[in-house]
Amino acid sequence: MIPEPWRHGVVAVVGLGKSGVAATELLARAGVRVYASDASDHPYGGDALASLGTLAGVSVDVGRHDLARIRAAAAVIVSPGVPPEAAPLVAARAAGVPVLSEVDLGFRALAAAGMRSIAITGTNGKTTTTALVAHLLRAAGLEAEAAGNIGRPLADIAVRGDHYAWLAIEVSSFQLHDSPHFAPDIGILTNLAPDHLDRYPAVEAYYADKRQLFRNARDANVWVLNGDDPAVLELAAGAKGRRLLFSLARPADGWYDRAERRLRLGGASPALLARGCARFGPCRTAWSRSARWAGSSGSTTRRPRISRPPSSPWRRWIGGSCCCSAAATRASRTPGSGRCSRSGAAS
């Protein structure tokens, strides 16, 4: 898991939230010397941050980044909340220092331990899909966890020694850009629309980072793709592996039958759910069954809240969900049909 050059130098960890703290601990336990820093005086890492200074070979800077030490590092591990234009990352790249995401570091450790993974990305719907995938895996009797942009950092799962059969991993375009070793068994691409153009020079650059989901594609991979989105299909063209399409407009591997108002798998399969149970809002029957599968009494009919509305004034909240991109806002046709429940994660 640990490249040999890292053992002869110092690896810098930029950002000391939960992901950065876990990455630092994972590296230190592998015998790597670490310089960990955060520009904030009060990083989100909390109590775990205090323990980093007691680890052998670890030095910690809070409230500043030593750019000279970062330029001299063998590699830089970046936490999800650090923007690509942050000074430490600019300095590292200018000096030719490899920049890798915490996802990449954690993934390599977990893959070596035999864990399998389903990666979820796209412009909208990642968090909901990731949470649903993890729930369905658990309902099927498999040990599973949601990780990445939601749930637990991959490095934290690795450093705690927890073992799951499957991980549902939400990944953003920024994380994919810095994850050259990321190779999930299954990948889901929900949709694509122009986004993050304050950080990308053009939409093509944003899509290029999304394409990195397929960079390590193998024949054994399965790719679940939005069959109604030409940009998605173009992005996945040529990738090794099996493609499964979902659609709201036509028969596909998974599709919505408008005439019968039901969800179906394949062309001739029995219907899965009636329209009333497939809506974003609650359906008593389906919700109760799901709750019982998860070990609850199944008596509730309330829709679960994933996050509270953030204070940022530019986000529009519809029916309790955050429309955190222009495409999501346009897609919200009526109250109660919000498309994004995240509170500020990158896509």
Instruction: Tell me how far apart the alpha carbons of residues 309 and 137 are, in angstroms, rounded to a whole number.
Output: 28
Residue 130 has pLDDT above 90, yes or no: yes
- Amino acid type, 100: L
Residue 319 has pLDDT above 50, yes or no: no
**pLDDT at residue 312, as a whole number:** 39
**pLDDT at residue 107, as a whole number:** 98
Instruction: Tell me how far apart the alpha carbons of residues 124 and 127 are, in angstroms, rounded to a whole number.
Output: 8
Task: Return the percentage of the chain with pLDDT > 90, whole number.
Answer: 63
* DSSP-based three-state secondary structure for 109: helix
**For range 1-25, the mean pLDDT:** 94
Residue 297 has pLDDT above 70, yes or no: no
For tokens 């799901």, the residue is 290
Task: Label residue 325 by pLDDT band (50, 70, 90).
Answer: low
pLDDT tens for each residue of 140-176: 999 999 999 888 999 999 999 999 999 999 999 999 9
**pLDDT at residue 253, as a whole number:** 94
**pLDDT at residue 124, as a whole number:** 93
67 CB-near residues (< 8 Å, 6+ apart): 87, 88, 91
Please report, for residues 6, 10, 51, 241, 277, the alpha-carbon distance to residue 267 in angstroms, rounded to integers and kept in the order given.
52, 56, 56, 22, 20
pLDDT tens for each residue of 47-75: 778 889 889 999 999 999 999 999 999 99
- Comparing 87-101, 242-256, 311-325, the range with the smallest average pLDDT is 311-325
CA 244 to chain centre: 20
Continuous H helices in the chain:
4-7, 18-29, 47-52, 67-71, 87-94, 102-112, 126-139, 154-160, 173-177, 203-210, 230-236, 275-278, 284-293, 326-331
CATH code for the part of the protein at 9-97: 3.40.50.720
**For range 262-287, the mean pLDDT:** 58
177 CB-near residues (< 8 Å, 6+ apart): 84, 101, 209, 212
The answer to whether residues 80 and 19 touch, using CB atoms and an 8 Å cutoff, is: yes
CATH topology of domain 105-293: UDP-N-acetylmuramoyl-L-alanine:D-glutamate ligase (3.40.1190)
Q: What is the 3-state secondary structure (H, E, C) of 203-241?
A: HHHHHHHHHHHHCCCCCCCEEEEECCCHHHHHHHCCCCC
Sketch the domain layout of the chain as residue ranges.
9-97, 105-293
pTM of the predicted model over 0.85: no
Residue 331 has pLDDT above 60, yes or no: no
Task: Return the percentage of the chain with pLDDT > 70, whole number.
Answer: 76
**For range 177-205, the mean pLDDT:** 92
Residue positions counted in the chain:
347
Residue 288 has pLDDT above 50, yes or no: no
pLDDT tens for each residue of 18-53: 999 999 999 999 999 999 999 998 887 667 788 898
Residue 294 has pLDDT above 50, yes or no: no
Mean pLDDT for all residues in the chain: 82
The answer to whether residues 306 and 93 touch, using CB atoms and an 8 Å cutoff, is: no
Instruction: Tell me how far apart the alpha carbons of residues 304 and 317 are, in angstroms, rounded to a whole number.
Output: 16
**pLDDT at residue 224, as a whole number:** 97
**pLDDT at residue 48, as a whole number:** 78
Task: Label residue 269 by pLDDT band (50, 70, 90).
Answer: low
